[in-house]
Structure 1
Amino acid sequence: MGAPRHDLTTARKAAGHTQESLAEALGIDVKSVRNWENGTYRPDRLRQQRLANELGIPRRRLSILLTPEAATNPSSYVNSDGDRAGVAGQTGQNLPDTIPELRNSEVIEVRRQEDISRPGRAAPSLVHADIPILRRVLDSRDLPDDGPVRPLDELVPAVRAVVVQRMQSDYSALSAEVLKLLPELHRAILAAPPGRKPQYAALLARAYRAADAIADKFGYYDLSARIIDLLKDAALKSEEDLLIGSAEYVRGEIFFASEDLDTGRRVLTAAADKIRVSASERAAATYGSLHMRAAVMAARAGSALRARDHIEEAQQSARKVNEGVHLGTAFGAASVRIHRLSLAVEIGDVGAALRLASGWAPPTTMPAERRSHFYIELGRAFHLADRPERVLSAFGAAKRIAPEHVCEHSQVIDVIDHLELTTRGGTRDAFRRFAAGLVKPQGRNTFGL
């Protein structure tokens, strides 16, 4: 038996839980909670996230409560309590090891133009500095500053450019462009004759989605929810049914942030049910995208059967669609495969996750955000498999493809935090170096705070 984890007991009581009520909330036997607190066992990694949520503490703090010696001497930590068995009975030794090493030819490093108008600041700090300005732009949307309005045929490529920046995760450049484009689109739609308003509304919906990407990816979930409401309103005014369905896809972010996953899944399913899949390739792609996101919600909520049903719907749609960007969302067979990897990671099926990734890499024609997402999920799978060196390889690939996507990605930060605490020697130093390039959340407005 290990040493009792008194601080874990204190955290449980501070959250208002008895051992019995905590066990009930987590759907486990009370004996498991007792064993965690008396130091006999520790929860597996999937359950640790749920435990941290139930106790109302960060995952990093929970890692310290479970491994108190790591707080003072992290290099001395040896996992000897059986947690190496991983999730769902998988062991690191029994998992396939046929995933090819990442090579330069498998990833694309997005080359960006230097932003000489905002020198001397890192990309994340640029985005955070722009957030108050973005709020003011939205506040004044019905009374924007005076300025020029380009003709519609010039606004169309301008909006297309920010869509590309969003999908390439080029957030610092995207932020600067959105702050210039939104006031112009606000002026344009106010001045447009009634017959042209739907066209301007469609452009505005796409620009709002670009703005939402900034708010959501950088943790401003209150702002993201506000922008999504504006996006939905613009989509309705566009009178484009599929754009309305696309807006519901984006709306899913609200439910990920609030963790109301069942409601979010039902919202996405209801939106998909309104689409006639056979109408067009774009319709099939929109329908499939909605089910693809619903599958992730179901898996994260612990419903593997529902997740399977949704991803099968998405797979059926993908057979009717060429892989590409449809209404601003990457969709096709490769995108569905990446999401199958996500589902396997969410439900803790490590073997399935690594088999899905074995011998395969996302095509370089995919947007950078989606390709980097594959390597983030692969890194999470290696984390569950207790292969820290492969975690670093996968996360490194993701960062080379889309550095601004990775630097504040909450799941990347959680995994790196955990491995900083629980690895030793040179491996721990490597994680420290990687962590130095990440940006931790800093008191933003999020749901529940």
Structure 2
Amino acid sequence: MAERRDDLIAARVAAGHTQESLAEAIDVYPKSIRNWEHGNSTPTRDNQLRLAPALNRTHQELRLMLGLTPPAIPVHSWQIGAPESSAAEGVVHAQIPYLRRALDTRDVPPDGQTRTLNELRSIVQSVVERRLQSDYATLSAELPEVLHELHRAILIAPGSTKRQYARLLAFTYRATDAIADKFGYYDLSARIIQSLREFSLQSEDSLLVGTSSYVRGEIFFASEDLQAGRRILEAAANDIRFGESETAAATYGTLHMRAAVMAARAGNALQARDHIEEAQQVARLVNEGIHLGTAFGAASVRIHRLSLAVEIGDAGEALRLAGGWRPPFAMPAERRSHFYIDLGRASHLADQPERALSAFQKAWKIAPEHVREHPQVFEIVEYLKPEARGELRDAVSDFAANLVKPQGQSSFGL
């Protein structure tokens, strides 16, 4: 007997929709809405991509309502959370040409609606949230039209408001870059980051410019020119007076966190320590939260300390940092999943394959679209496949079946 999806019904009501108005909003028959809510059928992938934003929910939240979470394998605790097959990566890759077209036509966008500044602020806020929650499939489907509309808006905006539209474009370009970087389109990512910096400068917000330098760090992770990237981040941090505001302190701290990881990956443990200590000091001035689109606070610094330990190969220190601690649930999915990815890497260094797999499964449960093409996860799981034995081997194979070989080299998306 079909089971009624009460959470889906509640989400529709909270979004202010009747079954009929929701059906009209996403271009389906009202009967389809009734069948989905009563558990008689499940929306197709395309319908999910339209349904999630109509309900003001992320794609992953919608999947939870639909009962499409990854299935558990109830044999051992380290087998919980094995992934299900998904076409999310195909959705994202299929959208790349449309994202390119939107970027190519920034000065000659196609005709279409241009909503008010307040309406566009709300839309961009949703875009930022999807990025933070690693909801890349939905994000990639929405971004081309959002970019077109913002490009139209800034072209016709009066001089007094152009700075505000530039600010919205900076946040939207950052979300676009997240897709390009996470899915291995590094040349496209570098191009997006250059435009992101341009819009940040046009916004005349020095802290947003600092944030653009933080994002620019991705270029140097991809090229492995880590010392150059670290110097750029350090210079950007030196331009910020972190005592002026909480946002200034957070921006300063995020730059040092990313510089710390670059130094560690380059093998310079002393530089990494200096940067992370600087971030730790300023984190005392900041409430854990999202600041100009980046998570920062004491918990974020702790997650980065774990990553540093992994980068320099100190598995014991990494496991000590992770022991008995878990990232707050309020933290964005991407940041929380990074904690478990690095815990899995540390467990692998410590020759604990069961714990490595368990950590990766937990990361998957939080943000599957972040894990699916993650280079370090893929590399370790590929290593474990021929090494594991018995039930662990079966669990590794099941998990590996849903990973995709990354297109590029490893990057660091915190």
* TM-score in terms of structure 2 length: 0.78
For 1:47, the equivalent position in structure 2 comes to none
Deviation of 1:121 after TM superposition, in Å, equals 7.2
For 1:241, the equivalent position in structure 2 comes to 206
Matched, 1:301 2:251: no
- Give, in whole Å, the separation in 1 of the partners of 2:246 and 2:63: 34
CA contact under 8 A between 2:375 and 2:410: conserved in structure 1?
no
- Give, in whole Å, the separation in 2 of the partners of 1:441 and 1:409: 7
Deviation of 1:312 after TM superposition, in Å, equals 0.3
CA contact under 8 A between 2:86 and 2:402: conserved in structure 1?
no
- Give, in whole Å, the separation in 2 of the partners of 1:441 and 1:350: 25
Deviation of 1:425 after TM superposition, in Å, equals 2.8
For 1:112, the equivalent position in structure 2 comes to 62
Deviation of 1:426 after TM superposition, in Å, equals 2.5
CA contact under 8 A between 2:230 and 2:263: conserved in structure 1?
yes
For 1:182, the equivalent position in structure 2 comes to 147
Deviation of 1:445 after TM superposition, in Å, equals 11
Q: Give the secondary-structure state (helix, strand or coil) at the position aligned to 1:282.
A: helix
- Give, in whole Å, the separation in 2 of the partners of 1:294 and 1:149: 39
Residues 1:221 and 1:287: Cα distance change in structure 2 (over 3 Å): same
- Which residue of 102, 105, 109 corresponds with 1:137? 102
Deviates more, 1:304-313 or 1:420-429: 420-429
Q: Give the secondary-structure state (helix, strand or coil) at the position aligned to 2:160.
A: helix
* 1:219-250 Cα deviation digits (max 9, x unpaired): 10011000000000000000000000000000
- Give, in whole Å, the separation in 2 of the partners of 1:218 and 1:355: 31
For 2:368, the equivalent position in structure 1 comes to 403
* Alignment root-mean-square deviation, CA: 1.9
Q: Give the secondary-structure state (helix, strand or coil) at the position aligned to 2:113.
A: coil
CA contact under 8 A between 2:322 and 2:343: conserved in structure 1?
yes
What amino acid is aligned across from residue 391 of structure 2 in structure 1?
Answer: G
- Give, in whole Å, the separation in 2 of the partners of 1:310 and 1:150: 43
* 1:399-444 Cα deviation digits (max 9, x unpaired): 00001000000110011011113223332222111100101135x7
Structure 1, unmatched stretches of 5+, are: 1-108
- Which residue of 316, 324, 340 corresponds with 1:351? 316
Larger-gyration structure (1/2): 1
- Give, in whole Å, the separation in 1 of the partners of 2:246 and 2:309: 28
Deviation of 1:111 after TM superposition, in Å, equals 1.6
Deviation of 1:194 after TM superposition, in Å, equals 1.2
What amino acid is aligned across from residue 400 of structure 1 in structure 2?
Answer: K
For 1:375, the equivalent position in structure 2 comes to 340
What aligned pairs does 1:163-182 form with structure 2 within 5 A after superposition?
A: 163-182=128-147
Residues 1:162 and 1:126: Cα distance change in structure 2 (over 3 Å): same
For 2:356, the equivalent position in structure 1 comes to 391
What aligned pairs does 1:191-340 form with structure 2 within 5 A after superposition?
A: 191-340=156-305
Residues 1:420 and 1:121: Cα distance change in structure 2 (over 3 Å): closer
Structure 2, unmatched stretches of 5+, are: 1-58, 67-84
* 1:8-43 Cα deviation digits (max 9, x unpaired): xxxxxxxxxxxxxxxxxxxxxxxxxxxxxxxxxxxx
CA contact under 8 A between 2:265 and 2:311: conserved in structure 1?
yes
Residues 1:381 and 1:236: Cα distance change in structure 2 (over 3 Å): same
- Give, in whole Å, the separation in 2 of the partners of 1:240 and 1:113: 37
- Give, in whole Å, the separation in 2 of the partners of 1:112 and 1:175: 16
CA contact under 8 A between 1:379 and 1:392: conserved in structure 2?
yes
What amino acid is aligned across from residue 313 of structure 2 in structure 1?
Answer: G
Q: Give the secondary-structure state (helix, strand or coil) at the position aligned to 2:290.
A: strand
- Give, in whole Å, the separation in 2 of the partners of 1:349 and 1:363: 24
Deviation of 1:213 after TM superposition, in Å, equals 0.5
CA contact under 8 A between 2:180 and 2:186: conserved in structure 1?
yes
For 1:365, the equivalent position in structure 2 comes to 330
Deviation of 1:112 after TM superposition, in Å, equals 2.7
Task: Tell me how many residue pairs correspond in the alignment.
Answer: 334
Q: Report % sequence identity.
A: 67
Structure number with greater CO (CA < 8 Å, separation at least 6) is: 1
- Give, in whole Å, the separation in 1 of the partners of 2:99 and 2:308: 34
The 4+ residue runs of structure 1 with deviation greater than 6 A are: 444-447
What amino acid is aligned across from residue 190 of structure 1 in structure 2?
Answer: L
* 1:373-424 Cα deviation digits (max 9, x unpaired): 0000000000000000001110010000001000000110011011113223
